[in-house]
Amino acid sequence: MKFATVKVKGKSQVVLVEKNNSNVLLLQAAAIKMGEAIPTTLLQCIEKAEIFLQKAKEIEQWASTQKNKSEFYVDEYVWEAPIPRPAKNIFCVGKNYAEHAVEMGSEADIPEHIILFSKAPTAVIGHEADIPRHEGITEELDYEGELAVVIGKKGKEIRREEALDYVFGYTIVNDITARDLQVNHKQYLLGKSLDGSCPIGPVIVEKSAIGNPNQLDIETRVNGEIRQQSNTEQFIFPVEEIIAILSKGMTLEPGDIIATGTPAGVGKGFKPPKFLRKGDEIAIKVKGIGTLINTVH
Protein backbone atom coordinates (compact mmCIF):
# COMPACT_ATOMS: atom_id res chain seq x y z
CA MET A 1 0.00 0.00 0.00
CA LYS A 2 1.04 3.59 -0.74
CA PHE A 3 0.21 6.28 1.80
CA ALA A 4 0.44 10.05 1.44
CA THR A 5 -0.69 13.35 2.88
CA VAL A 6 -2.57 15.68 0.55
CA LYS A 7 -4.63 18.84 0.86
CA VAL A 8 -8.25 18.65 -0.23
CA LYS A 9 -10.09 21.99 -0.14
CA GLY A 10 -7.30 23.36 2.04
CA LYS A 11 -7.41 20.57 4.62
CA SER A 12 -4.64 18.00 5.12
CA GLN A 13 -5.81 14.42 4.69
CA VAL A 14 -4.19 11.01 5.13
CA VAL A 15 -4.82 9.03 1.96
CA LEU A 16 -4.27 5.67 0.35
CA VAL A 17 -2.91 6.23 -3.16
CA GLU A 18 -4.15 4.22 -6.14
CA LYS A 19 -1.54 2.59 -8.38
CA ASN A 20 -1.60 5.32 -11.04
CA ASN A 21 -1.52 8.15 -8.44
CA SER A 22 -4.65 9.66 -10.03
CA ASN A 23 -7.23 8.84 -7.35
CA VAL A 24 -6.70 8.82 -3.61
CA LEU A 25 -8.85 7.30 -0.90
CA LEU A 26 -9.58 9.68 2.00
CA LEU A 27 -9.00 7.23 4.81
CA GLN A 28 -10.55 9.25 7.60
CA ALA A 29 -13.70 10.12 5.62
CA ALA A 30 -14.19 6.46 4.67
CA ALA A 31 -13.49 5.31 8.23
CA ILE A 32 -16.16 7.66 9.59
CA LYS A 33 -18.69 6.24 7.09
CA MET A 34 -17.80 2.78 8.40
CA GLY A 35 -18.30 3.91 11.98
CA GLU A 36 -14.56 3.60 12.64
CA ALA A 37 -11.78 6.09 13.38
CA ILE A 38 -8.14 6.54 12.41
CA PRO A 39 -5.60 9.20 13.47
CA THR A 40 -5.67 12.50 11.61
CA THR A 41 -1.97 12.60 10.59
CA LEU A 42 0.22 10.03 8.87
CA LEU A 43 2.80 10.40 11.65
CA GLN A 44 0.16 9.38 14.20
CA CYS A 45 -0.87 6.50 11.95
CA ILE A 46 2.73 5.27 11.74
CA GLU A 47 2.98 5.39 15.53
CA LYS A 48 0.20 2.77 15.55
CA ALA A 49 1.64 0.96 12.54
CA GLU A 50 0.27 -2.58 12.92
CA ILE A 51 -3.23 -1.47 13.90
CA PHE A 52 -3.24 1.23 11.23
CA LEU A 53 -2.16 -1.08 8.41
CA GLN A 54 -4.85 -3.60 9.25
CA LYS A 55 -7.45 -0.83 9.49
CA ALA A 56 -6.33 0.66 6.16
CA LYS A 57 -6.83 -2.70 4.44
CA GLU A 58 -10.33 -2.98 5.88
CA ILE A 59 -11.18 0.58 4.83
CA GLU A 60 -9.89 0.00 1.30
CA GLN A 61 -11.86 -3.22 0.94
CA TRP A 62 -15.05 -1.58 2.26
CA ALA A 63 -14.68 1.56 0.10
CA SER A 64 -14.18 -0.46 -3.08
CA THR A 65 -17.66 -2.00 -2.65
CA GLN A 66 -19.56 1.27 -2.13
CA LYS A 67 -21.74 2.84 -4.82
CA ASN A 68 -21.20 6.50 -3.90
CA LYS A 69 -17.40 6.45 -4.01
CA SER A 70 -17.07 10.19 -4.70
CA GLU A 71 -17.53 10.80 -0.97
CA PHE A 72 -14.09 9.40 -0.21
CA TYR A 73 -12.28 8.88 -3.55
CA VAL A 74 -10.99 12.17 -5.00
CA ASP A 75 -8.82 13.18 -7.96
CA GLU A 76 -8.34 16.87 -7.13
CA TYR A 77 -5.78 17.48 -4.41
CA VAL A 78 -2.40 19.08 -3.66
CA TRP A 79 0.50 16.91 -2.55
CA GLU A 80 2.20 17.56 0.77
CA ALA A 81 5.22 15.72 2.13
CA PRO A 82 3.97 12.39 3.55
CA ILE A 83 4.99 13.67 6.99
CA PRO A 84 4.71 17.44 6.48
CA ARG A 85 6.54 18.31 9.69
CA PRO A 86 8.76 15.48 10.98
CA ALA A 87 9.22 15.36 14.74
CA LYS A 88 13.02 15.30 14.33
CA ASN A 89 15.67 16.33 11.86
CA ILE A 90 15.96 14.01 8.88
CA PHE A 91 18.90 11.64 9.32
CA CYS A 92 21.14 11.57 6.23
CA VAL A 93 23.96 9.29 5.11
CA GLY A 94 26.84 10.90 3.22
CA LYS A 95 28.93 9.29 0.48
CA ASN A 96 27.14 5.93 0.61
CA TYR A 97 27.96 5.12 -3.03
CA ALA A 98 31.66 4.71 -3.83
CA GLU A 99 31.39 6.45 -7.22
CA HIS A 100 29.78 9.49 -5.59
CA ALA A 101 32.55 9.64 -2.97
CA VAL A 102 35.11 9.60 -5.79
CA GLU A 103 33.36 12.31 -7.83
CA MET A 104 33.36 14.55 -4.74
CA GLY A 105 37.07 13.98 -4.15
CA SER A 106 39.04 10.79 -4.77
CA GLU A 107 39.16 7.12 -3.81
CA ALA A 108 40.58 8.27 -0.49
CA ASP A 109 37.17 9.80 0.23
CA ILE A 110 35.35 6.44 0.18
CA PRO A 111 34.32 6.18 3.85
CA GLU A 112 35.41 3.38 6.13
CA HIS A 113 32.81 4.43 8.69
CA ILE A 114 29.35 5.77 7.97
CA ILE A 115 29.04 9.56 7.53
CA LEU A 116 25.91 11.01 9.15
CA PHE A 117 24.38 14.49 9.16
CA SER A 118 20.88 15.94 9.32
CA LYS A 119 18.41 18.31 7.65
CA ALA A 120 16.03 20.52 9.65
CA PRO A 121 12.28 19.72 9.59
CA THR A 122 11.67 23.26 8.26
CA ALA A 123 13.42 22.21 5.04
CA VAL A 124 10.70 19.67 4.19
CA ILE A 125 8.38 20.24 1.21
CA GLY A 126 6.21 17.88 -0.84
CA HIS A 127 5.98 16.51 -4.36
CA GLU A 128 5.40 19.25 -6.98
CA ALA A 129 6.24 22.03 -4.49
CA ASP A 130 8.73 24.71 -5.56
CA ILE A 131 12.34 24.60 -4.38
CA PRO A 132 13.51 28.16 -3.53
CA ARG A 133 16.56 29.25 -5.52
CA HIS A 134 17.93 31.19 -2.51
CA GLU A 135 19.68 33.80 -4.63
CA GLY A 136 22.04 35.90 -2.57
CA ILE A 137 22.66 32.97 -0.21
CA THR A 138 24.09 30.32 -2.55
CA GLU A 139 25.39 30.09 -6.09
CA GLU A 140 25.91 26.33 -5.92
CA LEU A 141 22.51 24.76 -5.34
CA ASP A 142 22.67 21.03 -6.10
CA TYR A 143 20.38 17.96 -6.19
CA GLU A 144 20.80 14.51 -4.66
CA GLY A 145 18.27 11.75 -5.37
CA GLU A 146 17.94 9.26 -2.52
CA LEU A 147 15.94 6.33 -1.19
CA ALA A 148 14.61 7.15 2.28
CA VAL A 149 13.59 4.81 5.09
CA VAL A 150 10.69 5.59 7.42
CA ILE A 151 10.94 4.00 10.87
CA GLY A 152 7.78 2.34 12.19
CA LYS A 153 8.76 1.03 15.61
CA LYS A 154 10.71 2.46 18.55
CA GLY A 155 14.09 0.85 19.04
CA LYS A 156 17.62 1.19 20.39
CA GLU A 157 20.66 -1.03 19.88
CA ILE A 158 18.84 -2.69 17.01
CA ARG A 159 20.57 -5.76 15.65
CA ARG A 160 21.36 -5.65 11.96
CA GLU A 161 19.50 -8.90 11.26
CA GLU A 162 16.36 -7.44 12.89
CA ALA A 163 16.65 -3.91 11.47
CA LEU A 164 14.00 -4.21 8.75
CA ASP A 165 11.46 -5.21 11.42
CA TYR A 166 11.66 -1.59 12.60
CA VAL A 167 10.85 -0.11 9.17
CA PHE A 168 7.37 1.13 8.30
CA GLY A 169 8.11 1.88 4.66
CA TYR A 170 10.12 3.74 2.05
CA THR A 171 9.94 7.07 0.26
CA ILE A 172 12.13 9.38 -1.85
CA VAL A 173 14.18 12.37 -0.71
CA ASN A 174 15.86 15.07 -2.79
CA ASP A 175 18.75 16.18 -0.58
CA ILE A 176 19.07 19.69 -2.02
CA THR A 177 22.45 21.10 -1.01
CA ALA A 178 24.16 24.49 -1.10
CA ARG A 179 27.69 23.31 -1.87
CA ASP A 180 29.33 26.67 -1.21
CA LEU A 181 27.77 26.87 2.26
CA GLN A 182 29.10 23.40 2.98
CA VAL A 183 32.62 24.57 2.15
CA ASN A 184 32.38 27.96 3.85
CA HIS A 185 31.02 26.67 7.15
CA LYS A 186 33.08 23.46 7.29
CA GLN A 187 30.03 21.34 8.14
CA TYR A 188 26.79 20.12 6.57
CA LEU A 189 23.89 21.66 8.52
CA LEU A 190 23.54 25.10 6.92
CA GLY A 191 24.16 23.86 3.40
CA LYS A 192 21.60 21.09 3.86
CA SER A 193 18.82 22.89 5.75
CA LEU A 194 17.75 25.89 3.69
CA ASP A 195 13.98 26.25 3.52
CA GLY A 196 12.54 24.01 0.82
CA SER A 197 15.74 21.98 0.49
CA CYS A 198 14.21 18.63 1.48
CA PRO A 199 11.52 17.51 -0.96
CA ILE A 200 10.03 14.20 0.23
CA GLY A 201 7.45 11.91 -1.37
CA PRO A 202 5.18 11.64 -3.13
CA VAL A 203 4.24 8.57 -1.06
CA ILE A 204 5.43 6.21 1.63
CA VAL A 205 5.27 2.64 0.36
CA GLU A 206 4.62 0.07 3.09
CA LYS A 207 7.68 -2.15 3.42
CA SER A 208 5.99 -5.42 2.37
CA ALA A 209 5.55 -3.96 -1.13
CA ILE A 210 9.28 -3.35 -1.56
CA GLY A 211 11.00 -6.56 -0.56
CA ASN A 212 14.73 -5.82 -0.58
CA PRO A 213 15.51 -2.08 -0.22
CA ASN A 214 19.10 -2.79 -1.20
CA GLN A 215 18.15 -3.77 -4.76
CA LEU A 216 16.21 -0.80 -6.13
CA ASP A 217 16.88 1.14 -9.33
CA ILE A 218 17.26 4.88 -8.74
CA GLU A 219 17.37 7.62 -11.37
CA THR A 220 17.52 11.42 -11.31
CA ARG A 221 16.71 13.61 -14.30
CA VAL A 222 17.14 17.37 -14.55
CA ASN A 223 15.02 18.90 -17.32
CA GLY A 224 14.69 15.39 -18.78
CA GLU A 225 18.46 14.74 -18.86
CA ILE A 226 19.56 11.65 -16.91
CA ARG A 227 22.09 12.79 -14.32
CA GLN A 228 22.06 9.91 -11.83
CA GLN A 229 21.37 6.26 -12.62
CA SER A 230 22.26 3.47 -10.22
CA ASN A 231 20.89 0.76 -7.94
CA THR A 232 20.85 0.63 -4.16
CA GLU A 233 22.82 -2.61 -4.36
CA GLN A 234 25.76 -0.21 -4.74
CA PHE A 235 25.34 1.02 -1.15
CA ILE A 236 28.53 0.94 0.90
CA PHE A 237 26.37 0.67 4.01
CA PRO A 238 23.07 -1.18 3.36
CA VAL A 239 19.82 -0.17 5.03
CA GLU A 240 20.14 -2.74 7.82
CA GLU A 241 23.61 -1.52 8.76
CA ILE A 242 22.54 2.14 8.70
CA ILE A 243 19.71 1.43 11.16
CA ALA A 244 21.95 -0.67 13.41
CA ILE A 245 24.67 2.00 13.56
CA LEU A 246 22.23 4.88 14.12
CA SER A 247 20.49 3.06 16.95
CA LYS A 248 23.60 2.00 18.85
CA GLY A 249 23.34 4.87 21.31
CA MET A 250 20.30 6.74 20.04
CA THR A 251 16.64 5.78 20.16
CA LEU A 252 14.87 5.60 16.80
CA GLU A 253 11.16 6.37 16.87
CA PRO A 254 8.15 5.94 14.57
CA GLY A 255 8.19 8.55 11.82
CA ASP A 256 11.96 9.04 11.86
CA ILE A 257 13.22 9.48 8.29
CA ILE A 258 16.62 8.25 7.10
CA ALA A 259 17.96 9.36 3.69
CA THR A 260 20.37 6.64 2.57
CA GLY A 261 22.78 8.57 0.33
CA THR A 262 23.01 9.59 -3.31
CA PRO A 263 24.67 7.98 -6.35
CA ALA A 264 27.24 9.60 -8.62
CA GLY A 265 26.02 12.29 -10.99
CA VAL A 266 25.35 15.27 -8.75
CA GLY A 267 25.79 18.72 -10.28
CA LYS A 268 29.07 19.39 -8.48
CA GLY A 269 30.55 16.20 -9.93
CA PHE A 270 30.43 17.48 -13.54
CA LYS A 271 33.27 19.44 -15.15
CA PRO A 272 32.23 22.20 -15.28
CA PRO A 273 29.62 21.77 -12.50
CA LYS A 274 25.91 21.75 -13.38
CA PHE A 275 24.31 23.58 -10.48
CA LEU A 276 20.58 24.25 -10.34
CA ARG A 277 19.06 27.37 -11.86
CA LYS A 278 15.58 28.87 -11.82
CA GLY A 279 13.13 26.79 -13.84
CA ASP A 280 15.07 23.52 -13.54
CA GLU A 281 12.85 20.48 -12.95
CA ILE A 282 14.28 17.60 -10.91
CA ALA A 283 12.59 14.20 -11.20
CA ILE A 284 13.80 11.36 -8.97
CA LYS A 285 12.48 7.87 -9.64
CA VAL A 286 12.91 4.88 -7.35
CA LYS A 287 11.60 1.48 -8.42
CA GLY A 288 8.49 0.45 -6.54
CA ILE A 289 7.91 3.88 -5.02
CA GLY A 290 7.31 6.38 -7.82
CA THR A 291 8.72 9.70 -8.97
CA LEU A 292 9.36 12.81 -6.87
CA ILE A 293 9.22 15.97 -9.02
CA ASN A 294 10.08 19.53 -7.98
CA THR A 295 10.98 22.73 -9.82
CA VAL A 296 13.43 25.44 -8.75
CA HIS A 297 11.87 28.90 -8.40
**Which tens digits make up the pLDDT trace of 175-228?**
999 999 999 998 899 999 999 999 999 999 999 999 999 999 999 999 999 999
CB atoms within 10 A of CB 206: 20
User: Pairing relation of β-strands 141-142 and 124-125?
Assistant: unpaired
Model pLDDT for residues 81-121, shown as the tens digit of each residue: 999 999 999 999 999 999 999 998 888 889 999 999 999 99
Q: What is the mean pLDDT of the chain?
A: 96
173 and 37, same structural domain? no
Residue 63, SS3?
Answer: helix
Work out how many domains the chain is built from and give that number. Answer: 2
Look at residue 85 and tell me if it is in a domain.
no
Look at residue 84 and tell me if it is in a domain.
no
Q: What is the mean pLDDT of residues 125-146?
A: 98
239 and 120, same structural domain? yes
107 and 48, same structural domain? no
Q: Which domain holds residue 29?
A: 2-79
Q: What confidence category does residue 51 fall into, taking pLDDT thresholds of 50, 70 and 90?
A: very high
116 and 51, same structural domain? no
216 and 107, same structural domain? yes
**141 contact partners, CB below 8 Å, separation of at least 6:** 131, 133, 134, 176, 177, 178, 179, 275, 276, 296
240 and 127, same structural domain? yes
**73 contact partners, CB below 8 Å, separation of at least 6:** 23, 24, 25, 26, 63
pTM of the full structure: 0.97
257 and 143, same structural domain? yes
CA distance readout (Å), 134 to 138, 178, 220? 6, 9, 22
261-262-267-270 Cα dihedral, nearest 10 degrees: 120
42 and 146, same structural domain? no
Report the CATH number that the domain containing residue 148 is assigned in CATH: 3.90.850.10
